[in-house]
Structure 1
Amino acid sequence: MTNNLECTIGTLGQKWDATDKKQWFELQTIKRSYQDEVISKINTLSSHFDIVQYGALSVDKQRYPLFALKSKHWQSDKSTVLVSGGVHGYETSGVQGALRFLQNEAANLDSNYSDYFNVLVVPCVSPWGYETINRWNPDAVDPNRSFYQGSPAQESVALMNFIQSLNVDILVHVDLHETTDTDNTVFRPALSARDAIEQKVWNIPDGFYLVGNTLNPQAEFQQAIIDAVEKVTHIAPADDSGKLIGVDIEQFGVINYPGRELGLCMGLTDANYVTTTEVYPDSPKSDDENCILAQVAAITGALDFILKKHALL
């Protein structure tokens, strides 16, 4: 299936120019509220976490401030954990999963990860994408292919600059994503039109899976996350060719990508333990709440593994 609205932009066989991208931008509409669904939740956490505004999107600086939340009593002798969500704004459970993790942390004072780690959470990297339910930013650029020097995506640049400004060694980075049916019906046709390259439509994995770092896969770490998530939702099986989204399976529910080479958010830091989550909210076996719980389980599964491995518990 294709989306005719997206595919009629531009000239067939030619990459989009600035006029085409402007036309695409003007067709986008606000579908939900960043203020109501994200910022309002962030504000309720101010007594438990330090809220830092690290930038704002130029498309509307008042409407789209960029926020990170840091555990209070930040200490240089603690390892730092980074959780990022909403790099692709349309991937709802990544944003809401990051917020739910923070809410659970604030409520569970008896067993708080902030006792062991400096916790840093960036719940919505791409707020314009969140409101318009888009993978791309206002310039028709994919932020999750743009984490590199000279990046064209201001969302990526803002986060890279913020992380660098903290001047801390990050031990763990969990980047929260999801895959929806619109990947095949909307965004891949749009990508094909934008870049004038035929895009194959793949079978979306039915269930949760992880993307590890090819250069540092950390198989035990990935396995611990799969074990934790499997308690709340199903893990995506390999397809008939033993792959997920065209990539060879490394272990059950896990594939690897060269994160930094591809400009992915997972390549943002030099963290020793890195993973990207993927859930499938359109599965008949799942729903929005289940996907949020899966994201939270992935974060806690990752941190519990580190605590046990480093004998911090």
Structure 2
Amino acid sequence: MLSARRFFRLFLKATLIAGITGFATLMIGRHIMISKAGEKADQIIQALELENADDLSDQDFTHLTRLVFDNFEQTTHSNYPEIIAARFVTNHRLPDWIRLPNGVMEMLFNRGECNNAASQLTFVLKQLGYKSRQWDMVAEGGGHSALILERDNGDQLFLDPFFGLVAVDTEAGQLISPAHAQQLIRKGQHPDEVFRLLSDGSDASFYQSFASVKMAAQGDNLILDYSLPALHGQTITIGQLDSSIADIMSGGSNNNISAYWHYVGHRYSREWVRKLKAQDDLILEISLIQDATDNILTASPAPSVEGKTLSWSLKKGEEITFTDGEAKLSLSRLNSYLDVDRIVISPR
């Protein structure tokens, strides 16, 4: 019979072997995935038939964006296993030897939402030696992500591989940045003149309201500041106590505060800073679907909490700031947000 000391030594040895084996398997798997993603990126690059791979032209970047658009499978379903996995395996909190480079999962599975298409194009551009960043945009009716390419001379080019278009200054005959595109539209150019469709399936619907879109590069704070609707002595109710966020999203859009007040905490981007400003002396009540959790409530000033209802008493001109990036992860739900069930704005 084994002595306790002998058993313990064997147990430690087996654990060490299992740990080393697991580590080696993880490293080998990571290497294979990156290698396969690189092969797929090379296939796209070969299809470009580049004359000079060291100095791509606007036409080359346009062609590349169209290739990704034509081959990427668009989906609005974020519950596919690989899409969920991509959020975790590329998380910046993971050590380098585990974390996958941005775009690897998208190259391997070739489907996803707008941010996934941007990640795939980012990966291909990196293979070519170009830097790019995801470009996040929020309109009153919804949000979208595309890409900005950063040239060595500081120029930025706007590429959208999900909707299949690029931003163009037609007079100058060159690709332009999203800020330049917005400036042209605010000066009177129609969005259809600024955003060039690249394929039969391209869609510029989102860009029709581009003049008022709020936007920033991923990694920079995206300020989403809105004024609460004027009350004129009346109470405004957005949504019902029905455990659904759908009516909050539509009601928020209809009341010109955007569709993105259906949660508190962090749901989409840790760079989002959302603000609500009072146009009257008022009481704001936000009823949650889940129980309020202190480490997810990031509003300043802090609300009064009663059950699932958060409330603020505001004077005209005062505002509430929701810093999404400060929300902590809930280990029980594996997310960092609480759903909103109803919003009530009433005179004070």
TM-score under structure 1 length normalisation? 0.26
Is the strand fraction higher in 1 or 2?
A: 2
